[in-house]
Chain A
């Protein structure tokens, strides 16, 4: 080394790091959501895309507004606000007035995340907080489902002005869950699988949601225990009910593919921030959601239950975590 030494970096160990970073995790979820999102836009038309973009805009602007000025790039850069807006958008009716979608995005990030202390500190899934707010505030608009229709037709309800009565001009159709709950009409499985049915804009295509989940599992971004636990529990529980009275209760396949079950189980409940850290806790969390979904759908007042099921178990997460700490290596050996 006749020349000068290179500048040497001094930093605490370990010197090696695995390559996965939080923004990469967020981007992986974007990629996983893309197929189901495109399917939603395909079935429900450009209006769905507008709803989605409005939600994302609401979420990102809120994040930007509340972030410390010098850290705005960093707050937006982790990609979580976009994801929150995106997930919220997927849970909304495709012809929801855009101003409501925007408020949903604002509430999701503002009340769902920022007031708790930002990224990683929130207890409830931000996207679902946004949705719960919208459902409580605009119950009619939030349960007006449009049937899949012409791609380029934009429903006038999209552009309704705030606080004005809007007229519904598109073909409305009850969602499969509503049909089942209130009229005991079953929806064909093929429609549920590919998404050619009414519902929230991103929840209808079961197949593509599962594909996204497999991608995330393959990328190790997703704890497989959560979707497996939720779906497994829901399937077992609904099978029991179905066997008790097949006319009154929906079967396990319907339970899995109708409504937001797959979207919730794969993309919402698996939000690491609001799910338990421990393996055992994760199972409790997932089984809890599975039971609550079926209970709410079958015995509750709402046709859909996944949102409240996840939010309720989110609330229980800190408690679950503190009761499921694994045994530390070399401690409490006697009780083994």
Chain B
């Protein structure tokens, strides 16, 4: 079995949801027209919220910094449009809560052009490079929104041998990475080369699932002889794009539990992230927009769009023809790890890789039955955990046993177990509850 997986460039276990990418994979990336009102939540990335440096009434240019990093694990925010700050305060967030945000009204008469200010990256030291990436507001665009520069701060004694670029895009429906690999191939390779040189890595590996032959071909055609870049086609399987699974598939190395990719001399970046870095150093444009897939059976005209950050989700859906009456759920991100949206007026964020409108057919859930110990979740878990056990222990609130005997904290909540459960048990939700409980208990003891 292991040999088979090696030949197939993959990891063990996982699930095979239908990828549903046919709706958008052939559609070129379009630009969403600028709207009127933009909302930039300060805490849309992992880590400390950004600190506003503008006030209501200030005029801002497109790309101008409006909030500075609130710490090392934090990034800056920039205005997605030229316009005026109308306020800094509590605004609607996609999960239904309210969060601190900067609100900007676009200047309707401005052309929204930006001046080009290339940055001489070759002259930068590694520290300066890290600070530039942080100032550019760049986070992981695969969905996690983890500040990108933190990955580049390599402690003494560690080194990075390979830069691994994540083009797996294992989430069903999403094609934003796919289209970017095809349409912005040069930028991708340029950005990868910047990061490779700055980290002192020997090689660049781009992992792409085999259901994107166009992207694989575009990359292979663009790689010049002698460049230390190779493209690795990967088995189509969820969660191929999970960082540690990808490293296993590409290098056949397991990142030890509780360790980071840098502990096996690898740095992993998403395709979109690398292109954002390339654009920043080529033109000076910080992270003020991103490519988003709008898809699912609930939208009339699915599309791959460049969406200015802070645009209401509603405007993105309207551009795609609006929601059909069958729509029952709107998801921000991919359908496996993304979240249901409570409020369509909430803004698009740095981590919003997709807006999906799903109907009863996709979201309908089986009634919850008792666990019949069929073992489908055990055979699905890419971490070789025992989800059936977790569900059972969590129902009895035996959270400590879940951590001590069954390593619940290793779970990355990819959702394979819940996906595969015929009894409709929300296993991941039980695990999340347990992890939250364990974290809060840990806080109390210390």
Contact = CB atoms under 8 A, between A and B. Distances in A.
B89 interface: no
Given A8-B329, A10-B96, A16-B419, A329 B257 contact: yes
B370 A328 contact: no
Name the residue among A5, A18, A333 with the largest chain B CB count within 10 angstroms: A18
A15 B339 CA distance: 8
Interface stretch (B73-81, B191-199, B202-210, B320-328): B320-328
Given A8-B340, A325-B386, A328-B384, A23 B254 contact: no
A330 B255 contact: yes
Interface in B371-412: 371-375, 378-379, 382-386, 388-389, 406-407, 410
Given A272-B374, A330-B254, A16 B335 contact: yes
A8 B341 contact: yes
Contact of B342 (A10, A325, A330): A10
Which applies to chain A's interface (DSSP): helix, strand, loop or mixed?
A: loop
Which applies to chain B's interface (DSSP): helix, strand, loop or mixed?
A: loop
Interface in B296-336: 314, 317-318, 322-323, 325, 327-331, 335-336
B336 A16 contact: yes
Interface residues on B, range: 35 or more
Which 7 A-B residue pairings sit nearest by Cβ, starting from the closest?
Answer: A14-B415, A120-B370, A119-B370, A21-B366, A330-B257, A272-B374, A329-B383
B17 interface: yes
Nearest to B1: A279
A268 to B, nearest CB: 15
Contacts of B362: 15-16
Contacts of A20: 422
A17 B366 contact: yes
B426 interface: yes
Contacts of B365: 11, 17
A74 interface: yes
Contacts of B423: 21-22
A21 B337 contact: no
Interface of B: 15, 17, 96, 172, 244, 248, 254-259, 314, 317-318, 322-323, 325, 327-331, 335-342, 344, 356, 358, 362-367, 369-375, 378-379, 382-386, 388-389, 406-407, 410, 415, 418-424, 426, 428-429, 432
Given A6-B325, A10-B342, A277-B386, A329 B244 contact: yes
A212 to B, nearest CB: 18
A18 B417 CA distance: 10
Contacts of A1: 314, 317-318, 322-323
A273 B392 CA distance: 13
Nearest to A1: B322
A191 interface: no
A140 interface: no
Nearest to B381: A329
Interface string A248-280: 000000000000000000000000111101110
Nearest to B245: A329
Contacts of B426: 12
Contacts of B363: 9, 11, 15
Contact of A22 (B314, B372, B385): B372
Given A12-B428, A329-B410, A330-B256, A119 B96 contact: no
A223 B379 CA distance: 11
B418 A17 contact: yes
Contact of A272 (B248, B257, B372, B420): B372
A278 B13 CA distance: 13
Given A119-B369, A331-B407, A13 B415 contact: yes
B285 to A, nearest CB: 31
A24 B383 CA distance: 28
B344 A5 contact: yes
A223 B406 CA distance: 24
Nearest to B296: A15
B261 to A, nearest CB: 11
A22 B254 contact: no
Given A21-B423, A24-B422, A331-B257, A5 B372 contact: no
A14 B422 contact: no
A25 B374 contact: yes
A11 B338 CA distance: 11
Name the residue among B248, B344, B383, B384 with the largest chain A CB count within 10 angstroms: B384
B340 A15 contact: yes
A277 B424 contact: no
